[in-house]
Amino acid sequence: MDNVVIAGVGKSIPSKVVTNEMLCQIVDTNDECITSRTGIKQRHITTGENTSDIASKAALNALENANIDALDIDLIIVATCTPDMFTPATACIVQKNIGAKNAFAFDLSAACSGFIYGINVAKSMMKQNNIKKSLVIGAETLSKTLDWKDRSTCVLFGDGAGAAVLSLDQNEGIIDVICNSKGAKWENLTIGARDINNPYVDEVSSINHYLQMNGGEIFKFATVTIVKLIKEILKKNNLILDDIDYIVPHQANERIIQFAAKKLDISMDKFYINIHEYGNTSAASIPIAISEIEEKSLLKKGDKIIAVGFGAGLTSGACLIEWTK
């Protein structure tokens, strides 16, 4: 059994809903403006849970969906750009929370592409090291990074987590993964960390700790990248768009998805979209969407999906999956 499949999926969404109308009470904007430019109608915001908390709930839901015990998990990867703290890894806290004491755990930082990067890393480690079962989690509490006076960013993001259980199997499952990065463009989307401040520096650095984004540059990058990655992974695997049942894009902006559909000459119905409810949840957006697809029984065994992500770094990635559940 040298193939890796998705054996189960799950999600966890904070209960607090913040609508566009509610944001109008905080910043100078309106529902029509937000909806027309992004497709977002609301987002879910934590009222106290940290990233490890919602990641743990998503993990437990994925384990239940897979009918697998936490003690059977060998590896936990949490993809996040909003960890609980610099160290320990959020994945180690999740390990404790869910009782996966036989696993080893670490975090991965690739922003909105993080879940796809995590799938790629887990798949490679499982095939090379005979790791039988893994948890890959995308989890974010982006609300703690936002400047709630900046209407260009605070209306876009939400909190949430999604998880997938990966298992060695005779079926192909995760067929192919592509990961890219364009570090020369890193300054276009950032969340600042700690200032440089020690006795040997002449001047203490001053870092903006809020999420900052050059929206125009990110939009241009995303619209080109999503089309390129979909075409590339299809070509690599001798497939055409008609072979794909769903494309699951990172939920950043509905206009990006509309652009991709036009360039690919396909219906928007080919894309699974839930940005209207959750906004941009970064590394969590793709696993949340896949979990919803499973909940709604939209996939049957043998169906194929492409997950495609893009974000800070600038990172990007695509994953071709055959559904085996």
Q: Is 250 a catalytic residue?
A: yes
- pTM for the model: 0.95
The class level of CATH for 176-322 reads alpha beta
Rounded distance between C-alpha atoms, residue 213 and residue 310, angstroms: 14
Q: Is 112 a catalytic residue?
A: yes
The pLDDT score that the predictor gives to residue 1 is 61
**208 — pLDDT class (breaks 50, 70, 90):** confident
Work out whether the CA dihedral 50, 122, 236, 325 comes out positive or negative.
Answer: negative
Domain boundaries, the chain: 3-171, 176-322
Work out whether the CA dihedral 200, 205, 211, 217 comes out positive or negative.
Answer: negative
Asked if pLDDT for residue 297 goes beyond 70, the answer is yes
Alpha carbon distance, N-terminus to C-terminus of the chain: 16
**171 — pLDDT class (breaks 50, 70, 90):** confident
Q: Considering the chain, what percentage of its residues have pLDDT values greater than 70?
A: 100
Q: Which residue out of 44, 65, 250, 319 is catalytically annotated?
A: 250
Average pLDDT over residues 116-142: 95
Instruction: Tally the C-alpha atoms within 13 A of residue 78's C-alpha that lie toward its C-beta.
Output: 32
Q: How far from 112 is each of 15, 73, 193, CA to CA, in Å?
A: 22, 25, 18
**24 — pLDDT class (breaks 50, 70, 90):** very high
Rounded distance between C-alpha atoms, residue 102 and residue 87, angstroms: 20
Rounded distance between C-alpha atoms, residue 180 and residue 154, angstroms: 27
The pLDDT score that the predictor gives to residue 197 is 81
Q: Which of 23-32, 60-69, 241-250, 286-295 has the lowest mean pLDDT?
A: 23-32
CATH of 3-171, one of 3.40.47.10, 3.40.50.300, 3.90.320.10, 3.55.40.20: 3.40.47.10
Q: Which residue out of 112, 154, 179, 319 is catalytically annotated?
A: 112
- Residues 25-77 pLDDT 10s: 999 899 999 999 999 999 999 999 999 999 999 999 999 999 999 999 999 99
Average pLDDT over residues 196-202: 83
- φ/ψ of residue 179, rounded to 5: -130, 135
On the question of a common fold for 3-171 and 176-322, the answer reads yes
Average pLDDT over residues 131-152: 96
